[in-house]
Amino acid sequence: MIAKTQKTVTALKAGEDRAILLGLAMIALSMMMYFLLGITMIRSYKDSVWKGESRCSLFNLSIIGDRNCTYSCGTDCLKVSKYPCLRVYVNLSSSGKIMRLSHMEMPDVNTECFYVPKCKKNSTVAQGIIDNISDYFKNHPNFSCFYDPSEKQENVILTRLYGPHVIFHSLFWPSCVLTGGTLIVAMVKLTQYLSMLCERISKIKR
């Protein structure tokens, strides 16, 4: 009977140890996820200058010519193709200014084209993408856009690289993992404490 009790206690102790290790692993994983998000998405969101949101209305759009691009045709092989450059101007309702519209914030890319499609061997694919974008703006001339409140940027953007919703959803899962790991460790510690408390009470009664 004593040996059976000792085996049960040993099994419970091993299970508790595994549960604590699982909880600590989950906490460590969430910390790593927070760190990676902090040096990538959150930093980009914080450093973004396009923090003002307003309404834009289409003022003018036109294709100002073709632009050359290069695509890979194999190992150490690059070939030249082209895509049409669509320039879009909008009326920014918050200031009344006419500004050039860009698809997304790209601090290291300075282009007068609204959108730069992926370079393809067949340039008609890029032409079709640009035609679809033009048709969309013609059918939806009013839309939300983002601008630089300090007015240092000469353009506005249609989409932020990392918006508040993206940041929220990115932080949601690490928070769930952190909460789950903390609860596992806390429940095991609470169970151990209650077990010790019951043992002490039973000894006092004896």
Q: Round to whole Å and give the CA distance between 75 and 91.
A: 46
- Sorted by sequence, the CB contacts under 8 Å of residue 193 that are 6+ apart come out as none
Token match 């396009």: residue?
Answer: 50
Q: φ and ψ at 51, to 5 degrees?
A: -100, -10
Grade residue 2 by pLDDT with cuts at 50, 70 and 90. Answer: very low
Q: What 8-state DSSP symbol labels residue 121?
A: S
Alpha-carbon dihedral of residues 134, 138, 144, 147, nearest 10 degrees?
60
Give this prediction's pTM.
Answer: 0.67
- The answer to whether 70 and 78 have CB atoms below 8 angstroms apart is yes
Q: Round to whole Å and give the CA distance between 46 and 32.
A: 20
- Sorted by sequence, the CB contacts under 8 Å of residue 50 that are 6+ apart come out as 105, 146, 147, 148, 153, 156, 157, 160
Q: Round to whole Å and give the CA distance between 146 and 94.
A: 10
Q: What's the mean pLDDT when you consider all of the chain?
A: 84
Judged by average pLDDT, the poorest of 57-66, 71-80, 86-95, 112-121 is 71-80
- Counting DSSP H helices and E strands in the chain, the numbers are 4, 5
Rounded to 10°, the helix 2-37/164-205 angle is: 160
Give, for 73, the enclosing helix (H) or strand (E).
strand 52-74
- Asked whether the predicted pLDDT for residue 4 surpasses 70, the reply is no
> What tokens appear for 6 in the block?
């000792």
Token match 């077990």: residue?
Answer: 195
**C-alpha separations of 81 from 8, 66, 146 in Å:** 72, 10, 32
Judged by average pLDDT, the poorest of 75-84, 89-98, 100-109, 168-177 is 100-109
